[in-house]
Amino acid sequence: MQTAIPCVLMRGGSSKGLYFLGSDLPTEEGLRSRVLLAAMGGGDPRQIDGMGGAHPLTSKIAIISSSDQPGVDVDYLFVQAVVGEDRVDLSPTCGNILAGVGPFALEKGLVTANGDMTVVRVHMVNTGKICELLIATPGGQVSYEGDAVIDGVPGTGSPIICDFPDAAGSSCGALLPTGNVRDRVDGVEVTCIDSGMPVVLLRASDFGLSGQETPAELNQNEALKSRLNGLRLKLGPMMNLGDVTDWVVPKMSLLSAAEKGGNISTRTFIPHVCHEAIGVLGAASVAAGCIIPGSICEDFTSTISGTAPTVSVEHPSGHFDVTMALNTEGEIPVIKKIGLLRTARTLMTGSVMIPASVWAGRSQNGSV
């Protein structure tokens, strides 16, 4: 006998994943992880016996519950099922999957629509930070149709505005977790930053790259990937993250001058595979680097001025615009708010079937 667990398959921004109500999953964390791994396809790189798409961007899970926190509607716990490994990682959050949390919460009745536009206040459990999602709810129903375009997703959809009132130091405790605007590790200059996502900013040219290579080209470059991971492992403790061997943060973003009319160009490893675009909060962290005087970004962008700049972050499949509200009185601007545009869509609702062996303490391949 298999166990049927209700879940929704959603595209959130340029990612895709399974969305669960917390109350439909086991409360014990080890068992819950085994159930989620079984749902996704366990440690198999092809995830053939599960719902995962054999890529980090399609091996994601959202667990959503009503929140007890004052002024907050729902708690959102993000779970990355690590492709090809029989484990989950709870260290990052995901700003793309986040976009689907509002529609899911409305459709599941955790939040009631409030006129034509509804604000869903989300507590991101992985980081403790808050996001306000503004969702079109004409006639009290979530709207998925609209004219918003996001790079990396074909067609158009209803806009979801994501506002982060206080993203800095989400996982590392500070916007500049090493305390420095630049650091040097193994002869490479970097800026370590956390404006919603821990990211290491590096110059593509320091690795003999133009920064315009395709993700496929970069993914074939084993020497590059190994060098980046070596730096990542050294920088993890310096960024207050400790040993990041098994973690998918920090992400590593190779920077170069913009070539498509934006402010800066990126190729981002998440952290072992090059992203076809860039993560939402990854982009927010690159954008934050662009407004910090003396950061590595300064080598490619002229300083972005004003108290409400929009930073256009180029990536392999387009660009990502990040709007910020800044207090520019001090030496380093203080980010008061970050705003981004996403779309999301429910793709399927139903139940995912969990093999009986999982409840007996074994993963799908029987290893745990």
What is the distance of C-alpha 201 from the center of its chain?
16
Stretch that binds ligand NQM, among 83-91, 163-171, 273-281, 310-318 (CB under 6 A): 273-281
SS3 359: helix
Identified binder of ligand NQM from the candidate list 41, 50, 53, 56, rule CB under 6 A:
56
Tokens of 211: 């920064």
- Burial group, residue 197, by CB count within 10 angstroms (0-12, 13-18, 19+): buried
Site string for ligand NQM, 149-188 (x = CB under 6 A): ----------------------------------------
Q: Cβ closer to ligand NQM: 81 or 292? A: 81
Identified binder of ligand NQM from the candidate list 64, 94, 244, 296, rule CB under 6 A:
94
Residue with tokens 């159930």: 35
Q: Is 258 in the site for ligand NQM (CB under 6 A)?
A: no
Give least dist CB 279 to ligand NQM, A: 2
Stretch that binds ligand NQM, among 91-99, 124-132, 143-151, 257-265 (CB under 6 A): 91-99
Identified binder of ligand NQM from the candidate list 10, 11, 14, 238, rule CB under 6 A:
14
Query: How far is Cα 244 from Cα 242, in angstroms, rounded to an integer?
Result: 6
Query: How far is Cα 103 from Cα 93, in angstroms, rounded to an integer?
Result: 18
Residue 349: CB partners within 8 Å, gap ≥ 6? 6, 7, 8, 9
Stretch that binds ligand NQM, among 122-130, 166-174, 276-284, 317-325 (CB under 6 A): 276-284
Q: Is 279 in the site for ligand NQM (CB under 6 A)?
A: yes
Q: Is 311 in the site for ligand NQM (CB under 6 A)?
A: no
Give least dist CB 280 to ligand NQM, A: 4
Identified binder of ligand NQM from the candidate list 281, 288, 311, 322, rule CB under 6 A:
281
Q: What are phi and psi of 359, to 5 degrees?
A: -70, -20
- Relative to beta strand 198-203, strand 251-256 is parallel
Q: Is 203 in the site for ligand NQM (CB under 6 A)?
A: no
Q: Is 53 in the site for ligand NQM (CB under 6 A)?
A: no
Query: How far is Cα 279 from Cα 322, in angstroms, rounded to an integer?
Result: 12
Residue 188: CB partners within 8 Å, gap ≥ 6? 202, 206, 231
Give least dist CB 57 to ligand NQM, A: 5
Task: Calculate ∠ Cα 292-294-295, nearest 5°.
Answer: 65
Identified binder of ligand NQM from the candidate list 40, 168, 280, 344, rule CB under 6 A:
280
Identified binder of ligand NQM from the candidate list 59, 65, 91, 96, rule CB under 6 A:
96
Tokens of 26: 């086991």
- Burial group, residue 331, by CB count within 10 angstroms (0-12, 13-18, 19+): exposed
Stretch that binds ligand NQM, among 66-74, 183-191, 238-246, 279-287 (CB under 6 A): 279-287
Q: Is 15 in the site for ligand NQM (CB under 6 A)?
A: yes
Which helix (H) or strand (E) segment holds residue 31: the answer is: helix 29-40
Give least dist CB 21 to ligand NQM, A: 21
Give least dist CB 101 to ligand NQM, A: 12
Task: Calculate ∠ Cα 175-153-107, nearest 5°.
Answer: 85
Q: Is 270 in the site for ligand NQM (CB under 6 A)?
A: yes
Stretch that binds ligand NQM, among 121-129, 158-166, 215-223, 274-282 (CB under 6 A): 274-282
- Contact call for residues 171 and 249 (beta carbons, < 8 A): yes
- Contact call for residues 235 and 190 (beta carbons, < 8 A): yes
* Contacting residues toward ligand NQM, per CB under 6 A: 14-15, 56-57, 94-96, 197, 251, 270, 275, 279-282
